Copies of this chain bind each other. A is one copy, B any other.
Amino acid sequence: MQPANKQNIIAQDIASKIHHEIYAPKTFLPSEHQLCELYGTSRETIRKALDQLTELGLIQKIKGRGSLVLDIQRYTFPISGITSFKELNAALGMHACTKVLHLKKTVLPPQLITEETNKKQPAFFVERLRLINQQPAVLDRDYLLSPPVSTLPKTAAADSIYAYLEGKLGLQISYATKEITVEKADPTVAKKLALLADGLVVVVRSHSYLEDTTLFQITASFHRPDKFKFIDFARRKKILLHPTTAKKEF
């Protein structure tokens, strides 16, 4: 799935050791020089591996001292900048299941047509209901653009669409934009999520792209407010994008 170069292998290995508390929170990793000898690589390669862990929030580098293992795994672990169910984190191993309500080949509806899609863009439409402890928690409505998504069997939709796209179709998923809002639930959505009429629902809209910047997925995810939780780890960015703008904190 991911290129098996040295820096990734090292990052994966250290991440795993942090996860298993071989490197415990609030302790320092071996120094970069020691890691060089440990893995038999140059210092830059070690540093690129550590950069990945820093970005993920697993460690914090402190100049002159070392790389400190952070104690925020409970926050950052199951996710990585994604929306998830409230219980999905705590409830690893809980009874969660996915019910595929619809799956058909169609074209993108007019309101989703933009300059980055064709006029009559073919797509697979998938509607899925996520249940946790038999309770409806999330309703996903996905359009998977075709091309690049050539086929989409129902079994893949019930399991993990991403695993299918990456594993079977060999697509390389790269990045996504997400937008979270709270809106009044549409009656069809309210019914499927067992919400009160006129109830509020959390909506996560996202566009997902491949490595060659091809748009391949447009999703709206409707979450029951009481089941919704979004966890994020953010580093303060150095680049000022709007120097003239009143800076928002973080």
Contacts and interface: CB of A to CB of B under 8 A. Distances in A.
Contacts of A229: 179-181
A188 interface: no
B177 A231 contact: yes
Interface residues of A, number: 77
Nearest to A241: B77
Interface string A30-50: 000000000000001000000
Interface stretch (A103-111, A118-126, A146-154, A158-166): A158-166
A68 B213 contact: yes
B249 A160 contact: yes
A239 interface: yes
Given A56-B239, A182-B225, A249-B160, A232 B77 contact: no
A77 B242 contact: yes
Given A248-B78, A249-B160, A175 B234 contact: yes
Contacts of A241: 15, 19, 56, 76-78, 80
Interface in A227-250: 228-243, 245-250
A72 B174 CA distance: 14
B182 A52 contact: no
B213 A52 contact: no
Contacts of A81: 81, 232, 234-235, 237, 250
Nearest to A213: B60
Find the residue from A57, A72, A84, A243 having the highest chain B CB count within 10 A.
A72
A210 to B, nearest CB: 10
Given A72-B177, A182-B202, A79 B248 contact: yes
Interface of A: 2, 8, 11-12, 15-16, 19, 44, 52-53, 55-57, 60, 62, 68, 70-72, 75-82, 84, 86, 88, 92, 116, 160-163, 173-182, 200, 202, 208-209, 211-213, 225-226, 228-243, 245-250
23 contacts: A2-B238, A15-B239, A53-B239, A57-B175, A60-B209, A62-B211, A76-B177, A79-B248, A80-B250, A82-B234, A82-B249, A86-B181, A88-B248, A161-B249, A173-B250, A174-B235, A175-B235, A177-B231, A178-B233, A180-B180, A180-B232, A182-B202, A182-B225
